[in-house]
Structure 1
């Protein structure tokens, strides 16, 4: 098999922790991390070393939180990457395994969140499609009570992170992955949508607020222009650090002005 020479920089657990501290991550922080492993460079130890470096920077009193969404537990009629034949839809719905926070893998959020999800002592919230996992002394407080009819709103870990003064770390990830912006969608006039998923008694449909990350990059650009956002580099990755509360408050105003709330907005599905 052909192999390719690694491209730098060389990143270790120690250099990652050091650079995170230089960026502004503090001991005892509550940190909601969105990450891209490939953007960092050549990481010795891969995702495990990244999680270790994050935990080192946070210290024993800090708490690391990551999105562990499972978009595969959704209506196959909406799948686009790839789609499945219409003739399969009913069978897929009838046989799709239900959500189990211990065994359901995350999807579409990267290898670092999946590594956190399986880390010893990690706790995971109960929503079958938009869960979060956390490590640290505030993990239970953040993940408990995630309402099954509230993907990313007032009864989700996002609202608790906001109240607890958590900060967002975008580590090689763009604003399109900033889940904090979704909390703002629950605070402005928004349509409701029917969301299909496997439930304890079989396939179920629940009514939810319509959420959509369209234009989040544009929203993030304006947020960074108008609000203090710490920017730097960790390895080869561009990194940003800012409070959850600032992102939510800015997004509430921005979305109300720039994005009409029309029926049909929906969270991307795998």
Structure 2
């Protein structure tokens, strides 16, 4: 079986350790997440704590696509994380990606540095009384504006994919994860507002975030608020209708 290992040069001393770890992935470290599709494990090597994400084994057709036509999710995650880091957007530092090929892609892994965080955005959706919630939402609006100004359209900009870390003086740092779906393009105002839709924002959350974004982008607050609300309601309606059809 052919192996493709690409390493961040800053972590070249970990090459041998990473190869060894992946030979016994099922038994190493501790689980961070254990889903039906992907598995993430945490392990410490030479003083560096790593998150190793193993992507779901592709079916026969997907395996050929990933070998010959399209970059694997692991490779995209590594490359996109490298771009974000260069642009000053927080994400767990990319360390390596590994692909194993036979007849098509068999297994793939993305390795990043582990980040200790205080909450993810889902907490703000579910707990309106969370301390400093309004301030975090305002800073999240500014963070999303920074993404858009850097021509980053994060297609999975959803509550579980933003980690939040408390900083000094009532500041918060935002880290993007699950990066394999992203476009780099100039976004007009509607595309920018459309990008908020997966955050599952309530009207109250929108009322807090919209003025901040409007001030930064230089657009009327009412326009930003209306489009943000429109796309959020549209998305939430589609998800709820899909759930209803499944129940029936």
**If the length of structure 2 is used for normalisation, what is the TM-score?**
0.26
The structure with more strand, counted as a fraction of residues:
2
Query: Which one scores higher on RCO, CA 8 angstroms, separation ≥ 6?
Result: 1
**The structure with more radius of gyration:** 2
The structure with more helix, counted as a fraction of residues:
2
**If the length of structure 1 is used for normalisation, what is the TM-score?**
0.24
